[in-house]
Amino acid sequence: MRVAVIGSGYVGLVSGACFADFGHTVVCVDRDADKISALRRAVLPIYEPHLDGMVASNLADERLSFSTDLATAVASAEVIFIAVGTPARARDGQADLSFVFDAVREVAVALSGYAVIVVKSTVPVGTGDEVERIVRELRPQLDFAVVSNPEFLREGAAINDFKRPDRIVVGAEDERARAVMEELYRPLFLNKAPILFMGRRSSEMTKYAANAFLATKIAFINEVADLCEQAGADVQDVAHGIGLDKRIGAKFLHAGPGFGGSCFPKDTQAMIAMAQAHGAPMRIVETAAASNDHRKRIIARKVIAACGGVRGRTIAILGLTFKPNTDDMRESPAISIITALQDAGARIRAYDPEGMDQARAMIANVSYCLDAYDCVVDADAVVIVTEWDVFRALDLDRLRGAMARPILVDLRNVYGPERVEKAGFRYVGVGKGDADAGKPNRVIPLALAG
């Protein structure tokens, strides 16, 4: 099939490359001429494992191309994906749909025959209806369909998520559009990926509901971790114990410094705003978002307490991106942690395998280092913020030998306390209650005290 993808950011680029890899002919469109010029040379604006090779191979086979010419790309396309950004509006947290509607207007003018306009961007419920209204207003006689097809891609695992999805959600209002989407995704039927057809509004809601639920799950286990620290329990044991319950599931039950990235913070705020606008407030989601914001302050205080204060001290930060296997710094917990430590008087050294360039543009007065061992030189503490694989098997003796004080704050529970303490470190993890919890010098619940 002939496919046009409007927007060559994370979602558009991954989607376009994967569709081309299926054998479709894909043109990815973007207004940024420098980005398009780089993409034509297989130089990517983002880091995503294996994406560069996929782009290069499909460019060479002429299934994938890049252009700034939207009109030409759309004129011959059977399916047009809208994959532009929907950032949160500063004034109210709602999704800014201006980029979506601008793209739709250009598409409407350029269409020459029947096509399916697919909204891939994350948009509030009812956006598809407005897209259809805009197109009909501009081209009353045009034969077209508007479909919702939200993405469920995890940064760092996007190609696998696209090719082996848990489900494909399609909001289509007519059978002709449904048939087109079935043909587009037919290569995935071999992997038995379920394609779920529903109404457009239900499809749009599914995306927000999924992200809000996962964000709530993260906020929940982080609050459990705080309770574990006070009550003498181990959050990793607790998470394992509840995660084996199939009604709960083990994923997204890893305690840490809180969620970040381009999706969860933005989408939870957009869902909260959407719910308030419809007079059906989402109190649980509101609380999860507030809990996550508070989490960042708690974590910064944890680091400061572990060091007995940080004024005049050097703190080594390992991991800057919001998660491993990406260079995305958006809403990364590292930003808030570093800022709080700097405000408390600390000097910061930092290293990340992929996020250094992004971090330099966002965080000032930081010494960016060559690797983990360079980062900890003369440091008073080392803090693991992002669980990159390269940080999972560090030479602890070498690490300790380079540091001024042997303190390791493990915000992702990568290491076990015994191993780290055996290497001569003071270890501070997340959700690890101390051995004295529950003894008489602790507050014991009345139900247990009688």
Which DSSP helix (H) or strand (E) runs through 72? helix 70-75
8 Å CB contact between 158 and 51: yes
User: Exposed, middle or buried: residue 426 (CB in 10 Å: 0-12, 13-18, 19+)?
Assistant: middle
- Please tell me the distance from the alpha carbon of residue 435 to that of residue 438, in angstroms, as a whole number: 9
Is 307 one of the catalytic residues? no
CA 250 to chain centre: 18
- Please tell me the distance from the alpha carbon of residue 172 to that of residue 147, in angstroms, as a whole number: 5
Local structure of 65: helix, strand or coil: strand
Catalytic residue among 18, 228, 263, 307: 263
User: Exposed, middle or buried: residue 130 (CB in 10 Å: 0-12, 13-18, 19+)?
Assistant: middle
Q: b/e map of 184-223 (b: 16 or more CB within 10 Å)?
A: bbebbeeeebebebeebbebbbbbbebbbebbbbbbbbbb
Local structure of 384: helix, strand or coil: strand
- Please tell me the distance from the alpha carbon of residue 197 to that of residue 194, in angstroms, as a whole number: 10
Q: How far is CA 397 from CA 19, 187, 394, 417, 423, in A?
A: 48, 50, 9, 15, 6
Dump strand ranges (E) for 62-206: 64-67, 79-82, 115-119, 144-148, 168-171, 195-198
Angle (CA) 320 324 327, round 5° = 60
- Please tell me the distance from the alpha carbon of residue 224 to that of residue 385, in angstroms, as a whole number: 19
Q: Which residues are catalytic?
A: 263
